[in-house]
């Protein structure tokens, strides 16, 4: 019986997510908070949590401020995530998410947190290389803390790839460009991040498909583009799928994209086909959209959701019409 290799998530700039719900967000006005939640967050942390809920083995690493690490330590213990974060002096930043419940839109206010030292960066690199092995997935997710340049991400990717590890990246801007240039196996931009990466304006679905085809042909074997209510495009060099969940009762969009990526990586870890990976990814995102906290149905309920997901296989002559 083969042993499944744990997935390693790397969150260089985690955050304590303070999610605040108001009935209607009006700039310059006083608001009554309808509901508020505070939890450990950051893209890689969110992915690790959903992976653990799905039963995957996962190691979470990165940099964590020692002054307020307790909320993360409790979170990892609760969900069964292996905590391998390098502790740095100071506080992990807080990210405030203002949710306008009337139109279900989120406004992000991201604070600045503790910055790692050169020695701590070296310690993280050494730790990750010790974990590296052929075929193991490493995810680098989120923004960069103060003092970390995109070059650090590129050099880390190059070192990990030299071991035969597989690299997924969910970031944006200069960090994403540096990662792609270094060579990755998977990225998960949204439409705007994809356009920024390519330096072009992508007008319409045809332009997005053409861009993902070119990237998979020239730069990477796997690519996911999240497109909000329109679903997600899953692209490889050999196939492309447009995948959508049924109409949902959306409670919050916070963490949904991270759940999508978690489901896809879990499917990859299990050796599933592209279609099964895409279904699993969409089911994980579905579960996150309908809950304020990380959750995932199990057994028959999860299988029922997998079967209700719409999957369209695209080819050069077929263009699905998207809802506007």
Give domain limits for the chain: 7-313
Identify which has the larger pLDDT, 36 or 179. Answer: 179
Q: What is the DSSP letter of 190?
A: B
What's phi and psi for 284, nearest 5 deg? -65, -45
Query: pLDDT per residue over 270-279, tens digit each?
Result: 999 999 999 9
Is the pLDDT at 310 greater than 50? The verdict is yes
Q: Is-catalytic flag, 258?
A: yes
What is the band of 248 on the pLDDT scale with cuts at 50, 70, 90?
confident
Instruction: Report the phi/psi class of residue 147: left, alpha or beta, with left for phi > 0 and alpha for psi in -120 to 50.
Output: left
Angle, helices 256-269 vs 274-289, to 10°: value is 150
Query: pLDDT per residue over 124-143, tens digit each?
Result: 999 999 999 999 999 999 99
Predicted TM-score of the model (pTM): 0.92
C-beta atoms surrounding 323 within 10 Å = 7
Two tokens at 170?
Answer: 């969910």
Q: What is the DSSP letter of 44?
A: H
Half-sphere exposure of 189 (CA within 13 A, CB side): 19
- What CA–CA distance (Å, rounded) separates 57 from 61? 14
- Would you give the distance in Å from CA 201 to the centre of its chain? 23
Angle, helices 299-308 vs 274-289, to 10°: value is 110
Is the pLDDT at 321 greater than 50? The verdict is no
The predicted model gives 110-121 an average pLDDT of 93
Two tokens at 52?
Answer: 């653990």
Is the pLDDT at 1 greater than 90? The verdict is no
Q: Which residues, 6+ apart, have CB-to-CB distance to 71 below 8 Å? A: 16, 38, 39, 40
The predicted model gives 306-315 an average pLDDT of 91
What is the band of 65 on the pLDDT scale with cuts at 50, 70, 90?
very high
Q: Which residues, 6+ apart, have CB-to-CB distance to 244 below 8 Å? A: 230, 231, 232, 282, 309, 310
* pLDDT the model gives residue 316: 61
Half-sphere exposure of 196 (CA within 13 A, CB side): 14
What is the band of 318 on the pLDDT scale with cuts at 50, 70, 90?
very low
Instruction: Say which CATH topology domain 7-313 has.
Output: 3.40.1190
Residue tagged active-site, from 258, 276, 315, 323: 258
Mean pLDDT of the chain: 92
- What CA–CA distance (Å, rounded) separates 262 from 264? 5
């Amino acid at each position: 019986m083969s042993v499944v290799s744990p997935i390693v998530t790397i969150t260089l700039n985690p955050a304590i997510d303070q999610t605040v719900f108001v009935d209607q967000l009006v700039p310059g006005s006083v608001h009554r908070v309808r509901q508020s939640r505070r939890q450990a967050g950051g893209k890689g942390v969110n992915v690790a949590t959903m992976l653990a809920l799905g039963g995957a083995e996962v190691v979470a690493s990165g940099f964590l401020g020692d002054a307020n690490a307790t909320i993360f330590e409790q979170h990892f213990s609760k969900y069964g995530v292996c905590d391998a974060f390098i502790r740095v002096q100071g506080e992990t930043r807080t990210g405030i998410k203002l949710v306008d419940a009337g139109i279900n839109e989120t406004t992000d206010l991201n604070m600045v947190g503790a910055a790692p030292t050169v020695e701590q960066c070296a310690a993280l690199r050494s730790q990750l290389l010790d974990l590296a092995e052929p075929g193991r997935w490493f995810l680098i997710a989120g923004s960069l803390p103060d003092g970390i340049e995109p070059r650090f991400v590129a050099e880390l990717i190059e070192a990990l790839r030299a071991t035969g590890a597989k690299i997924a990246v969910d970031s944006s801007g200069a960090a994403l460009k540096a990662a792609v240039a270094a060579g990755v196996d998977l990225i998960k931009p949204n439409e705007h991040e994809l356009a920024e990466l390519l330096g072009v304006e992508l007008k319409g679905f045809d332009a997005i498909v053409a861009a993902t085809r070119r990237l998979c042909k020239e730069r990477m074997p796997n690519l996911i583009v999240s497109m909000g209510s329109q679903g997600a495009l899953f692209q490889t060099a050999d196939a492309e799928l447009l995948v959508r969940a049924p109409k949902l009762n959306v409670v919050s969009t916070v963490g949904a994209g991270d759940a999508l990526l978690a489901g896809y990586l879990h499917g990859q870890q299990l050796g599933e086909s592209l279609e099964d990976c895409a279904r699993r990814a969409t089911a994980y995102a579905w579960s996150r959209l309908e809950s304020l906290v990380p959750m995932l149905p199990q057994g028959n309920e999860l299988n029922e959701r997998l079967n209700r997901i719409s999957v369209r296989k695209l080819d050069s002559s077929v263009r699905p019409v998207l809802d506007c």
